Amino acid sequence: MKFMNNISRRTAIKTVFAGSAALAVTSIDAAVMGKKKKKEKVVAPEPLKGNIHHSVSKWCFGDVPLDEFCETCKKIGIESVELLDPKDWSIVKSHGLTVAMAQGAGLGIDKGFNDPSLHDELVASYEKVIPMVADAGLTNLICFAGRRNGATDLQGWENCEKGLNRLIPTAEKYHVVLTMELLNSIGHKDYLCDHTVWGAELCRRMGSENFKLLYDIYHMQIMEGNVIDHIQKYHQYFSHIHTGGVPGRAEIDETQELYYPAIMKALVATGYKGFVGQEFVPKEADKIASLEKCIRICDI
């Protein structure tokens, strides 16, 4: 009986251990399955708030096919892919997006309206492209002051006025806004329209809603800083905004010197209804993740 009791006791102990092990394995399996289920669950990102109209400059993202890039932008919630020539506008529009800042006219950044010898060529180019912008259902067409070439501020205003005034009737007829970009004159050596107050004075002299400025935060931080104050003072002259991290034109995150959520809040507070175009050059390996991150930084 004692021997039998020992066997029974051993058997009982083994049975208990076996049962405990089975329960443990079952619990582990359940936990693993639970984790697998959690991993498989895809949480859709929160939709953008809608206070900012988001755009992005295609050139910053290299040779990604435009169709593919537009599909990605659409998923993120971006409404525009910009700084594209006429041949690309229909591709963007086929994805339900717009081109918030069109290009395709003029002679480039260095050869602009400050040079009277270029006026005939510039006017001919813009008069050809302005109707194309309207036909595509777009609004903003970029233009440039060009190099200073020794001109004083006053001479620069007078030179640009003379050339641009030849185009304003066409721009008004087709409801197109000629938009002169503010650029830093360090990277773009000797560029004339390199301070907000200079561009705002040109707008005042032109006196037309069909001539405005592209306020590029990256460039103006380099030249003058005081970004929020300039937005508050001169926003009525802006038809478009560009971003970019300083220094280096990289991501607009904690790696650079500006706090973009505050800038965007100040911009929205002015009643600005135009687009904000991301024009940073990604340094992170995942360029699309960088784009989405920077869009959400600005999505106040």
Domain spans in the chain, listed from the N-terminal domain onward: 1-43, 53-298
* pLDDT at residue 11, as a whole number: 47
- Confidence grade of residue 55 (pLDDT, cut at 50, 70, 90): very high
- Rounded Cα distance, 191 and 114, in Å: 10
- Confidence grade of residue 46 (pLDDT, cut at 50, 70, 90): confident
What does the longest C-alpha to C-alpha distance in the chain come to? 120
Q: 24-59 burial, b if ≥16 CB within 10 A, otherwise e?
A: eeeeeeeeeeeeeeeeeeeeeeeebeeebbbbbbbe
The mean of the pLDDT values for the chain is: 90
- Confidence grade of residue 44 (pLDDT, cut at 50, 70, 90): low
Statement: the pTM of the whole predicted model exceeds 0.95: no
- The share of the chain scoring above pLDDT 70, in percent, equals 85
Give the tens place of pLDDT for each residue, 234-259. Answer: 999 999 999 999 999 999 999 999 99
Contacts 24+ apart (CB under 8 A), 40-48: 45/292, 47/77, 48/77, 48/295, 48/296, 48/299
- Rounded Cα distance, 260 and 263, in Å: 5
Chosen CATH of 53-298 out of 3.40.630.30, 3.20.20.150, 2.60.120.10, 3.30.450.40: 3.20.20.150
- Confidence grade of residue 2 (pLDDT, cut at 50, 70, 90): very low
